[in-house]
Amino acid sequence: MRIARVVADVCAECNAGWMSTLEVSFRQALFARPRVGTIPAPDRVTLSRWFTKTAVLLAHAHGGVLVGAAHRAQIAAGMPDDVEVFLARRRRPPQHLDFAFDVTTDRDADAMRSVAIQVGDLVGHVAARGRLASRHGTRLWPLRSHTLRWETLPVITPLIIRRDDDRRVKPRGL
């Protein structure tokens, strides 16, 4: 399934309000100027919120839960406390927009471990805190005090990167 064909239930007020504003801010942060130099803190917040909002909607549309209901409302004004976002690049991605899920096959565990979303050559990984590591990119959220630069974002190959010793994980997506 292509990302453009994913349908999630969103109220009209949210869709025309904060989500629309976030989409415009995301496009400005990503496409309005060359991606060179430092990634300013306001852009880091915008990227984190957009990747989180999109990951939560993709997970929901596919019957999964990435962020609990109590924390989803926090995305409208900021970021949920229990979420982390990592950012990386892909060289020569096969398509402009893509996504993938990292899910467990164990029925007793949380089914949705993380969601990876690719926009152009950028990949955002979104998961509950403590689930992502440097192999997923560099931490974008929670904000860090050191400078992030577009040119030094790590390059990854697959959208979902699994630990070799974790046999319960089964990547799904396109």
Q: Is the pTM of this model over 0.95?
A: no
In-domain check, residue 106 = yes
More confident residue, 121 or 68: 121
In-domain check, residue 5 = no
| 31 C-beta neighbours (distance < 10 Å), count | 11
In-domain check, residue 4 = no
CB-count exposure of residue 71 (10 Å: 0-12, 13-18, 19+): middle
Q: Which domain holds residue 68?
A: 10-173
Identify whether the C-beta of residue 126 lies closer than 8 Å to the C-beta of residue 141: no
In-domain check, residue 40 = yes
Binning the chain into helix, strand and coil, the percentages to the nearest 5 are 35, 25, 45
pLDDT band at 163; cut points 50, 70, 90: very low
Q: How many domains does the chain have?
A: 1
Residue among 57, 56, 120 nearest 85 (CA): 56
In-domain check, residue 36 = yes
Structure confidence by residue, pLDDT tens digits, 35-46: 999 999 999 999
The pLDDT of residue 3: 54
Identify whether the C-beta of residue 85 lies closer than 8 Å to the C-beta of residue 125: yes
In-domain check, residue 92 = yes
Structure confidence by residue, pLDDT tens digits, 11-42: 888 888 899 999 999 999 999 989 999 999 99
